[in-house]
Every structure is written in structure tokens, then in C-alpha cells.
Amino acid sequence: MNSKRQSDKLGIVTTWAAESGIVFIAVLVLIVILALVGTIAVITTNTDIKISGNYKASVKALYAAQAGIEEARARLRGSSSSANYAGDPDTDFDEDWSAYILTSNTWQISDDPNYNANYKNYIPQYSPVNHTNTSVVANSLQTGISYWVKIRHKREYDAEQAGHTTTSTHYYDDDGSTVTHTSSTPGNIVYYGYYNPSTPTTAIQFTTTGTTVYKPVEIITVYGISGNSSKIIEIEVIHYPGPPILAPLYSMGDVSLNGASSTIDGTDNCGENAALPPIYILSPSTLTESPSPTYGGNPPTPQIGSTYIDIMEYINALKSGATITITDDQNGATYGNASDFVTCYSDTSNPPNVQGLKLQNVTGYGTLLVKGDLTLGGGFTWYGLILSSGTLVLNGGGSGINITGAAMSVETITINGDLNIKYDSCMIDNSLNNQSLNVIRWKEVY
């Protein structure tokens, strides 16, 4: 009996010992699994944090690049007479011009992978003003945002890289050469404006070996930076050319000329563009002369044709850049000056003015946009562009009326008394200088 009981007890002990070993192994396995789960959770959390941080940095870099684009667009408006101007200071446009806008003076040439020593590579300063500075200095108007910008004129090589060929044209080639260009010989500047004589009211990209008042297409490349992240955006922008000018006086309605003391000349007063006829009237409207005034231009006689210009469309497009709003008649006012062209806008229906807007003894520089009828009295002098969506009456008694640029009207034009209108493409160009640049191509490079 004792022997049997001892044997039974020994079996229990042996079984328990075996089971306790299995439990120990199971516990170890469980600990390892929990450790792995914890490690994976930590790694996943850290990875998520890094991904989230990288995403935030990437978004900040994108926003920085967009801020750089807006600064570049703003600083390409106007002319070199402006301290903040960052465009080409050469009035004839230098093919090799380029400029940088920097938010940090630690920028180095090596930061630009496409740096080209053949270009001017200006870093224009606004205080003190130096549009041709080449020393590295922070010249951005922004603070607290990290980016740098490169601006240059579009060249024929750039268009060819985008697919331009003689059979698939991206621009009107008027420079007499159809050779393929290279990065070291990029060809002529590509401009934007009304240049193709077969489509005189359609703005296009074009090249020329002659002079032009139209401005180049600009290529803006921006590097936005946030931490170790960066975004590169490249855009092409154009200077808004305004309406096509067919004559210094354009009317979609009848034109009535009363008095021989008027002079209307389509010869370009600044000598940049070809001469235009003195008056262009949209058919079937008519011209009445009593008697005939003095005309000049090419041809030196008024023309009646079918070329339609949507003046109201241009008024709506240009009014967003208005710097002065005229709400009632003016006598003796002055708008802008020879170095500061402005955009004036008047809506004669707000506040209501059933007789339209009347201006006399007024001197102005820039663009005058009138939604409604416009009457100009004696002593009126304007340098630039005048657009009226209604009738245009020019009563040049007393000191007369002088317009150097062009005037356009949707409805009838009536001229009484002393009038002197001279086409001037430079004054028209100056009047449009402060308009926003339009984006025609946008590309996220990286």
C-alpha cells in the first residue's frame, strides 16, 4: 500500500512539473508578443508623427512658394521708376536679363541648380534703390516666410522645350529665323500682345527683331522652403495688353465732327509702333464731317470696317485695378502725374447720373474707364487710354481738348470745337503698367 501511494504521488508531481514548464514557456512567448506589439506601436506612432510632420512641412513649403509667386507678380508691375520694381530695368528689354528675390542673405549660387552665369542675375534692392545690384542680400518685401524667386524673360528655346515647332506653333515667329535653339543660344525674347496683322484683335505670343511696346512673357520659378521640405513651382505670366488699338479714336457708333480746328493723328507720338489711321468706325456706322478736320496717320483718312472690339469687356477687366473712383462731375481735378499713372473708374449708374460723367479742366495720366456716357469739356488733357461704354461727347471750347494716347467708345462720338488727339503707344503702355500679371502656365516642378 505504501508503495502504491508513493507511486501515485510521484505521478502527480511529475505531471505538475511538466505543465509548469509549458506555462513558463507560454508566459515567455506572451511577453515577447506583447513586446513586439509595443515596439510596432511605438514605431508606427513615430512614423505617423514623421509623416504628419513631413506633410505639414510640405504644405508650408507650398504656401511659401505661392507667397513668392505673388510677390514676384506684384513686383513686375509698374516700371523701373518704382523702388519695389523687380523687372527688367532696360526699356528695350535685355535678352539676358534675370533677377532674384531672396528672403535670406545666406542664399548661395549653388542653391539654384539651374544658375546660368550668362544671365544678368540681378538682385534688385528697394532700399537703397538699385535695380541692377548683384550682391547677395535679402531683398524680399516679405518677412518670416522662407523662399527665393528667379525671374527671366521667356525665350524661343523655352517654347521649343514645350513643343513649339514650325508645324506646331506656340508663338508667331517674326524674327526671320526658324532654327532650333539650345540652352546656350536660346533665341529671341517671346512677347505677348497684338502683333499678327491677320488677327489684329487677338493677343498672341510672338518674337520680333524690331521694337515693340508689348512686354515679354515672364518665367517665374519659386523655391518654397520649410524645414527640410521644399516645393518648386514654375509659372509663366503675361502683362495685360489692354484692348487692341486700331486708331487713336475708335467708335462702334456714328462719329460727327463739327469744326475745322480739330487734329486727329494716328502717327505714333513715341515712335515705337507703326502709324494707324486717325479714326476707325465699326460698320455700318457713319462719319459726318462739317467741315473736315486735319488728319494724319496711315492711311491718313478715317476708316470704316468690321473689326469689333468688346469695349465693355475691357472696362470690366481693367476696373479691378482701379486706384481712383470718380462718383460725380469734376472741374479742375488732377489724376496721377507723369511718373505715376493711375486707373480711374466711374459707374454713372452708381450713384445714378442720367447725363453721364462730365469732366472739364481736368488733367490725367493713366486709364479712364467710364461705364456710361462721358462728356469732356474745355481744358481737358489726358495721357493714356480712355474707354467709354456709352456715348462720348468732346466739347473743346475755350482751352480745347488734348488726348495723347487713344479714346474708344461703344456708342456715338460727337466732337465740337478745338480737339487734338495724338496716338501714343508709350502713354497707353504706361497707363496699363499697374495691371496685375495674368498666369498662362502653372507647373509644380517638385
Distance CA(221)–CA(150), nearest Å, equals 5
For the chain, state the CA radius of gyration.
35
Alpha helices in 248-387 (DSSP H): 311-319
Alpha helices in 180-261 (DSSP H): none
**Number of CB atoms found within 10 A of residue 190's CB:** 26
Would you list the DSSP string of 357-404? Answer: EEEES-EEEEEEEEES-EEE-TTEEEEEEEEESS-EEEEEEEEEEEEE
Contact 174, 195 (CB under 8 A): yes
Name the nearest CA neighbour of 406 among 423, 388, 427, 430.
Answer: 423
Torsion-angle region of 187 (φ positive above 0: left; ψ -120 to 50: alpha; else: beta): left
**Sequential pLDDT tens for the chain (446 residues):** 455 455 455 455 555 455 667 777 777 777 877 777 767 766 666 665 555 556 688 889 999 999 999 999 999 998 888 899 999 999 889 999 999 999 999 999 999 999 999 999 999 999 999 999 999 999 999 888 999 999 999 999 999 999 999 999 999 999 988 899 999 999 999 999 999 989 989 999 999 998 888 999 999 999 999 988 899 999 999 999 999 999 999 999 999 998 768 899 999 999 988 999 999 999 999 999 988 889 999 999 999 999 999 999 999 999 988 999 999 999 999 999 998 999 999 999 887 777 899 999 999 999 999 999 999 999 999 999 999 999 999 998 778 899 999 999 999 999 988 899 999 999 999 999 988 899 999 999 88
Distance CA(88)–CA(220), nearest Å, equals 13
Name the nearest CA neighbour of 162 among 205, 222, 211.
Answer: 205
Contact 423, 401 (CB under 8 A): no
Contact 417, 259 (CB under 8 A): yes
Q: How far is CA 87 from CA 82, 90, 277, 343, in A?
A: 10, 9, 33, 21
Distance CA(146)–CA(83), nearest Å, equals 22
pLDDT in tens, 142-164: 888 999 999 999 999 999 999 99
Q: How far is CA 349 from CA 330, 346, 355, 372, 389, in A?
A: 16, 9, 10, 7, 12
pLDDT in tens, 118-146: 999 999 999 999 999 999 999 999 888 99
Distance CA(318)–CA(241), nearest Å, equals 10
Distance CA(385)–CA(321), nearest Å, equals 14
Contact 276, 344 (CB under 8 A): no
Contact 164, 186 (CB under 8 A): no
- Count of alpha carbons within 13 angstroms of residue 267, beta-carbon side: 10
pLDDT in tens, 415-440: 988 899 999 999 999 999 988 899 99
**Number of CB atoms found within 10 A of residue 407's CB:** 25
Specify which residues 204 forms β-bridges with: 193
Backbone torsions φ then ψ of 48, nearest 5 degrees: -60, -40
Q: What is the largest CA-CA distance in the chain?
A: 153
Distance CA(101)–CA(261), nearest Å, equals 53
